[in-house]
Amino acid sequence: MATTTLSPRASAYTARSRVLEWLTTTDHKKIGIMYITTAYIFFLLAGLMALGIRTELAFPGTQILDPALYNQAFTMHGTTMIFFFVMPMLAGFANYIVPLQIGAADMAFPRINALSFWIIPFSGVLLFSSFLLGGAANGGWTSYTPLSEATYSTTSGQDLWLAALILSGVSSIMGAINFLATTFRLRAPGMTMLRMPIFTWTVLVTNVLLLFAVPVLAAGMLMLFIDRNYGGSFFNPAAGGDTILWQHIFWFFGHPEVYILILPAFGIISEVIPVFSRKPLFGYKAFVIATVSIGVLGFGVWAHHMFTTGAVFLPFFSITTFLIAVPTGVKMFNWIATMWRGKIVFHTPMLFAVGFLASFLIGGLDGAFSASTPIDFALQDTYWIVSHLHYVLFGGSALAIMAATYYWFPKMTGRFLSERIGKVQFWIVLIATQLTFFPMHLLGLNGMPRRIQDYAPNAGWQDLNVLATIGSFGLGLGVALMMWNIFASLRGPKTAGDDPWEGNTLEWATTSPPPSYNFDHLPEIRSERPVFDLRHPGAGHAPALTAGDGAKP
C-alpha cells in the first residue's frame, strides 16, 4: 500500500473556526461530504415515513395514519427520497470523487458549487415546514393536476412543495453546469475522454440529462404555481387549459430523472466490480456508448407513464421503452463479464455491488412488462409499479449508494467502515429488500392499486402486506446498523492509507483524505486505470492473442 508523502505546506493552513470553515468552504471534498451527510439525514426522515406507510398498510382499517396524513406521507416519502436523498447523495459522491478521478484540483466553479449545496438543506427545510403550516403536499410526488390545483389542494403544502422543488432544481442546474465544465475542461494531461473512469462518464451523462430536463420541470411547476396563486388556467380544462399537459411536462422531466437517479449508481458499480475482481471493466467503450444511448433514449420514452390516459401515441413510446432495455442489458452482461475469470474478494463494497446486480435485474425486467401497452393497462397504478420502482431505486440506487459509502469512506476519512457490521448489515438489507418489495409484484397483479390508505379485509391482500411490512422494518434495521457503523467508524484508527482496495483510478493516487489541493503529483495517465498501471507496469493489457482482444469465457 503506497502512501503519498505530502509537501510540507499541505497542512500549513488551519482555519480559525471549524464551523466557519465548513460553512464557507468551496472545497469540493467538504461540499461532497456535506451533500452526503444531508442526504443521509433526509433518507432517515423519508424512511420513517415509509415505516409509517407500511405499518398502516399491514392491516385493514386505520391504524396510525388517517387518509389525510397518509396521502401526505407517501407524497413526502417519494419527494424526499428522490430530491433530497438520491439526488444530493449522488451529487455528493460526484462532487468528492469526479475532480479527483480526472486529476483536477477542484470543480470549475467552486463558489457556485457551494451555493448549489446550501440550497439543498434550505429547500428541504422549506419542504418539511409544510407539515407545520397546514399540511404537506398530498397529491403524490407526481402532483397531477387538477388534484394539485388550488380548488382541490387547498393548503399551502402544495405551494411549499413547488417552491422547494424549484429551488432544488436551480441547485441541480447549477451543479450540471459545474460538472460539465469541469469534466470537459479540467482533465489532467493524458486523460482523454475515453480514459475517464466510468463513474465520471455516468456523472457526465447524468448532468447532461439534468441540464436539459430540470428546466422543463421548472417551467411546469411555475405554471402550476401561477395557476394556484395568480389565476392562471394552464391546466384547467374548463378554462381552455389542458390537464394532461402537466403530465407531459412532468414526465418529460420525470423520465430522464429516473436515469439521473440510476446512471451514477451504474457508475459506482462499474468502479467497484473491476477493483474487487482485479480485472478491467469489460467493454469500456460499449459501456460509454450504452450510457450515452440511455441518456438520449431516455428523452424519448416519457409517455409510457401515460399509457392509460388514452391521449398518447402508444406505439412510439412502447418501442422506445422496449429499446431502452438493450443498453441496460449490455451493462448487466458487461459487469458479469468483468467478474468472469476474475479473482473476486468480497469486501463489503463488492457485496453491495453484487446485491445491486441481483436486485436491479428484477427491477429492470419489470420494466419490460410495462413497456407492453396491454400489460401496462392492467398493471399501471398498481403495486406492480410500486414494486418496480422500489427495485430499481432501492435495489438499484440505494444499494449502489451503500456500496459507494463503504468503498469511498476510507478515502474520505482515512478509516475503514467495520467490515463485520458491514457484512451483517448487507445481508439484512439484501434479504429485507426482497421481502419488502417482491410481494408487491403479486399484489399489483392481483389488483391492489397504489396510493390507497386502506383495502378491503376480504381482498386477500393482507398476508403479503404483512410480509412487506416485516421486510420494511428489516430494512430499517439494516439502515440503522449502517448509520451506527458510520458513527462508530469515524472514531476508528486511521489505517486506510492512500489505496486500501488496490484501486484503479486517480483518487487512490493521493492521501486519505486528500490535501485541499488534491494531488502533490499525478501518475502518468495512459489508460482508464492509471493507478493500476502504476502498480502493475505493463500488465494492464491481456497478452496478445490471434484475435487480439482476450478470449471468450
Partner 1 sequence: MTTPSEVLPAVHGAELTKDGHPYGSKPIENTALLGMLLFIASEIMFFAGLFAAYFDIRAKNLPHWPALPEGAEFGVTPVIIAATFILISSSAVIEWGVIRIRRGDRRGMNRAFALTVLMGVTFLALEATDWYILASEGVTLSGSVFGSLYFTMTGFHFAHVLGGVIGISIMLGRGVSGQFSARHHTAAEAVSYYWHFVDVVWVLLFATFYILR
Partner 2 sequence: MDRAPGRRRNLALVVAAVITVAAIVGLIVFYPADWPGFAPPTPITVTGQDTEGIYRVVFTIAAIIFLLVEGLILFAVLRYRRTDEELPVQTHGNMIAEAAWTIVPAIIVISLFFLSISVQNKVEARSPNPDVTIDVVGFQWQWTIGYGCPASYATETTVQPATDCEFSLTGLGSEGPDIHVPVGQTVHFRLHAADVIHAFYVPKFLYKKDVIPGRVNNFDVIVEQPGTYSGQCAELCGLSHAEMFFTLTAEDAGAYDAWYTQQVETANASPTPGPSGSGGPPPAGSAVDVSASNATAFDQTTLTAPAGAPITFRFANKDPNVAHNFSIKGANADGSDFIGLPLAQPGETVEYVSPALAAGTYPYYCSVHANMTGTLTVQ
234 binds, among partner 2, partner 1, none (CB under 5 to 8 A by kind): partner 1
Whose cell is 482515512? That residue is 414
Name the binder of 45 from partner 1, partner 2, none, CB < 5-8 A by kind: none
Binders of partner 1 among residues 204 to 263 (CB under 8 A) are 211-220, 222-223, 226-227, 230-234, 236, 239-242, 245, 248-249, 252
Rounded Cα gap, residues 206 and 224, in angstroms: 26
The closest of 120, 117, 121, 119 to 26, measured between CA atoms, is 117
Instruction: Identify the CA nearest to 127 among candidates 219, 190, 61, 42.
Output: 42
DSSP string, 33-87: HHHHHHHHHHHHHHHHHHHHHHHHHHSSS-SS--HHHHHHHHHHHHHIIIIIIIH
Is position 48 an interface residue for partner 2 (rule: CB under 8 A)?
no
Instruction: Please give the Cα distance from 98 to 92 (Å, whole number).
Output: 10
User: Taking CB under 8 A as the rule, does residue 308 contact partner 2?
Assistant: yes
Nearer residue to partner 1 within complex by CB, 115 or 286: 115
Q: Which is nearer to partner 2, 133 or 311 (CB)?
A: 311
Q: Does 228 bind partner 2 (CB under 8 A)?
A: no
Residue type at 182? Answer: T
- CB nearer partner 2, residue 138 or residue 405: 138
Map residues 443-462 to x or -, x wherever contact with partner 1 holds by CB under 8 A.
Answer: --------------------
Least spacing, CB of residue 509 vs partner 1, in Å: 23
| Cα separation, 358 vs 20, whole angstroms | 44
Compute, in degrees rounded to 10, the torsion defined by CA atoms 28, 34, 36, 39.
Answer: -140
**Which does residue 67 touch among partner 1, partner 2, none (CB within 5 to 8 A, set by kind)?**
partner 2
Site for partner 2 in 500-529 (CB under 8 A): 502
Query: How is residue 195 written as a grid cell?
Result: 480514459
Known active-site residue 171 = yes
**Is 502 one of the catalytic residues?**
no
Q: How many CB atoms lie within 10 A of CB 152?
A: 11
Q: Which is nearer to partner 1, 184 or 377 (CB)?
A: 184
Which CB sits closer to partner 1, 226 or 326?
226
The binding track of 339-368 with respect to partner 2, each residue x by CB under 8 A or -, is: xxxxxxxxx------x--xx--xx--x--x
Q: Stretches 43-51, 158-166, 328-336, 480-488: which one binds partner 2 (CB under 8 A)?
A: 328-336
State the alpha helices, DSSP H only, in 231-283. Answer: 243-277
Query: Residues 31, 108, 127, 531: which binds partner 1 (CB under 8 A)?
Result: 108
How many binding residues for partner 1 (CB under 8 A)? 39
From the candidates 75, 145, 148, 328, give the one annotated as an active-site residue: 328
Say which DSSP state 355 is in: H
d(CA 134, CA 124): 17
The active-site residue out of 56, 106, 498, 499 is: 106
294 binds partner 1 (CB under 8 A): no
Q: Which of residues 147-176 bind partner 1 (CB under 8 A)?
A: 173, 176
Would you call 257 a catalytic residue per the annotation?
Answer: yes
Whole-angstrom distance, CA of residue 375 vs CA of residue 210: 30
172 is known as an active-site residue? yes
Q: Is residue 305 flagged as an active site residue?
A: yes
Q: Considering the rule CB under 8 A, would residue 453 count as an interface residue with partner 2?
A: yes
Q: Per rule CB under 8 A, is residue 184 in the interface with partner 1?
A: yes
| Locus of grid cell 439526488 | 87
501 binds partner 1 (CB under 8 A): no
Question: Is 370 known to be catalytic?
Answer: no
> Could you say which of partner 2, partner 1, none residue 330 binds, taking C-beta under 5 to 8 angstroms by partner kind?
partner 2
Q: Interface with partner 2 by CB under 8 A: which range of 30-38, 39-47, 373-381, 395-403? A: 373-381
Residue 386 contacts by C-beta under 8 Å, 6 or more apart in sequence? 437, 440, 444, 450
Cβ density class 278-294: b for 16+ within 10 Å, e for less: ebbbbbbeebbebbebb
CA dihedral defined by 172, 173, 175, 177, rounded to 10 degrees? 160
Give yes or no for residue 232 binding partner 2 (CB under 8 A).
Answer: no
- If one asks whether residue 315 binds partner 2 (CB under 8 A), the answer comes out as yes
307 touches 314 (CB < 8 A)? yes
Closest by CA position to 198, among listed 99, 337, 98, 104: 98
Site string for partner 2, 395-434 (x = CB under 8 A): ----------------------------------------
* Cβ proximity to partner 2, 16 vs 552, nearer residue: 552
- The C-alpha angle 269, 201, 88, rounded to 5 degrees, equals 70
- Residue 106 annotated in active site: yes
Contact between 333 and partner 2 per CB under 8 A: yes
**SS3 for 150?**
coil
Is 77 labeled as catalytic in the residue annotation? yes
Any catalytic annotation for residue 347?
no
Spell out, one character per residue from 148 to 167, where the chain touches partner 2: x when CB under 8 A holds, - when not: ---xx-x-------------
Whether residue 291 contacts residue 196, with contact meaning beta carbons closer than 8 Å, is answered with no
C-alpha cell, 468: 412487506
Dihedral (CA of 119, 125, 128, 130) sign: negative
For the bound state, the minimum distance from the C-beta of residue 123 to partner 2, rounded and expressed in Å, comes to 24
Q: Which is nearer to partner 2, 140 or 215 (CB)?
A: 140
Q: Which residues contact 528 (CB under 8 A, 6 or more apart)?
A: 194, 195, 196, 197, 198, 280, 281, 284, 504, 505
Smallest CA-to-CA distance from 316 within 326, 329, 306, 331 is with 306
**Binding stretches for partner 1 (CB under 8 A):** 108-109, 173, 176-178, 180-181, 184-186, 211-220, 222-223, 226-227, 230-234, 236, 239-242, 245, 248-249, 252
Which sequence positions are flagged as catalytic? 77, 106, 141, 171-172, 255, 257, 259, 270, 304-305, 328, 331, 450
